[in-house]
Amino acid sequence: MSKGQDISIAKAKKAITDYKKAVGQPEGLAELMVFFCERAMGFSDDLGLDDEGYLG
């Protein structure tokens, strides 16, 4: 993760909602949602939240 990177759940949700309103293709919507999930996993990895002790 780069320093100064803007991270916002609200912006991610808005992007998904805007896409759904503008295009609405289920395949594209699923791809966008998976992308955000992958970014969230990367973020948690960067913070070390993938540790078994943390999750257990």
The predicted-structure confidence for 20-49, as pLDDT tens digits, reads as follows: 889 878 898 899 889 888 888 887 777 777
d(CA 29, CA 7): 20
Six token digits for residue 46: 């960067």
Range of the domain at 45: 24-56
Query: Does residue 39 fall inside a structural domain?
Result: yes
Q: Which range, of 1-5, 11-15, 32-36, 43-47, averages the lowest pLDDT? A: 1-5
Q: Is residue 19 part of a domain?
A: no
pLDDT category at 54 given cuts 50, 70, 90 is low
pLDDT band at 51 (very low <50, low <70, confident <90, very high): low
Write down the pTM of the prediction: 0.58
Do the domain assignments include residue 40?
yes
Cα(41)–Cα(9) distance, integer angstroms: 13
Nearest to 16 by CA among 2, 3, 4, 30: 30
C-beta neighbour count of 25 within 10 angstroms: 12
